[in-house]
Copies of this chain bind each other. A is one copy, B any other.
Amino acid sequence: MKRKIRMGMIGGGPGAFIGEVHRIAARMGGQIDLVAGVFGRDPKKSREIADSLFLCPDRCYADYASMVAGELGLPVNERIDFVCICTPNHLHFPVSKAFLEAGFHVLCEKPVAMSSAEALALQKIIESKGLLFCLMHNYSGYPMIQQARQAIADGMLGRLRKINVEYSLGWLAAPNAGKQASWRVDPKQAGISGCMADIGTHAQHLIEHVTGLKILQISADLSTFVEGRALDDDGSVMMRLSDGARGVIFASEVATGEENNFILKIYGDKAALEWRQQTPEELIIRSNDAPMQILRRGWPGTGEAAAKFSRLPAGHPEGFIEAFANIYDAFVEAIRSGKPGDYPGIEEGVSEMRFLEAVVANSNGNEKWTNI
């Protein structure tokens, strides 16, 4: 009989929004048991969380090193199958490294590391160990993003010309935006960038994932609007992509009043598409020769790529958590089969770090275009 997959978690302590998202997403498919973890730095609070999750108390560990050791000490048929890492950025690399070296598969939050050097180091370990690595670029788990990707691969848009991506949030508009916000603008925990690392990398990943193009050159203007911040809280990027396409990324975490406004517009010489994360069930298709179409999840005109990532009939809104869970489901399938599947991995991690380093360098320098 098939068994459930055993998951461990590093991160997701009290108040950590994304940790709870990982836990719900992991539950949705009914294929995963969360059996071990370190839920934040405070042992008492970590224990409380472990209790509320019905964990066996001796698998709530003091830190990730103890957890690696502890799990290795268990019989193979009790050990976790993989670990989910949802800590601040600076821990992604060392924790991934520790678990990979101990032979565990890893699912890690983005950005994958603090530098492209770290990302490349991880890539080497993953390849040499033959382990599975999933980078949680959750937005690619949306059915209509898969529909968009398929439409472009099928040539529906023709040759791509122009890309306009907007990712704006208002949550860092004021100086004091809470704990979740503060580590994101602290270089020690976030790395070389704030806004661009946090949301610009989502934009970069989705552009490359959906279009199949590569961003080759960028010209960037990062800003820090709130005084006293050590990292950017806003940025603009002009892009030149493979196959002659061009585009713009508008990213801001000081966009007052915006919730999680992530919009993707892609124009080809035959047609164009538009997707909005806050109404994720729709994909707008425009052309010069036909009426505007609104493809909707679950409805005729929407194909296999979206259907694979869909649970409910049309008109029964799916959202953020299902997209997240889709990445989990794909990773579980890979663990069962032992073969990497269709989820973002370490290559995407290397790309995002190179993009980030180019953007920061260009914004600090005087050259107009920086190659990636």
Residues of A that sit less than 8 Å from B by CB: 1-4, 17, 20-21, 23-24, 27-28, 30, 51, 53-54, 157, 161-162, 164, 166, 168-171, 173-174, 219, 221, 223, 225, 234, 236, 238, 240, 244, 246-248, 250, 252, 254-261, 267-272, 277-281, 285-296, 298-302, 311-322, 366-368
B residues near A321, Cβ cutoff 8 Å: 311-312, 318, 321-322
Q: Shortest CB–CB separation between residue A116 and chain B, in angstroms?
A: 23
Q: Which among A51, A246, A256 has the greatest number of chain B C-beta atoms within 10 A?
A: A256
CB-CB nearest in chain B for A281: B278
Task: Known contacts A234-B161, A254-B162, A267-B252; decide if A286 and B317 are in contact (CB<8 Å).
Answer: no
B residues near A248, Cβ cutoff 8 Å: 236, 248, 250
Decide if A287 touches B256 in the complex (CB within 8 Å): yes
CA–CA, A20 to B311, complex, Å? 9
B residues near A30, Cβ cutoff 8 Å: 23-24, 27, 53-54
B residues near A53, Cβ cutoff 8 Å: 30
Decide if A317 touches B319 in the complex (CB within 8 Å): yes
Decide if A246 touches B256 in the complex (CB within 8 Å): no
CA–CA, A23 to B1, complex, Å? 20
Grouping DSSP codes into helix (H, G, I), strand (E, B) and loop, the A interface class, with mixed when no group exceeds half, is: loop
Q: Shortest CB–CB separation between residue A288 and chain B, in angstroms?
A: 5
Decide if B296 touches A272 in the complex (CB within 8 Å): no
CB-CB nearest in chain B for A173: B288
B residues near A319, Cβ cutoff 8 Å: 312, 316-319, 322
CA–CA, A293 to B315, complex, Å? 16
CB-CB nearest in chain B for A268: B256
Q: Which among A3, A51, A54 has the greatest number of chain B C-beta atoms within 10 A?
A: A54
Which one of B4, B24, B291, B300 contacts A28 once the chains associate, using CB atoms below 8 Å? B24
B residues near A4, Cβ cutoff 8 Å: 54
Which one of B268, B281, B291, B302 contacts A301 once the chains associate, using CB atoms below 8 Å? B291
CB-CB nearest in chain B for A365: B368
B residues near A238, Cβ cutoff 8 Å: 219, 221, 236, 238
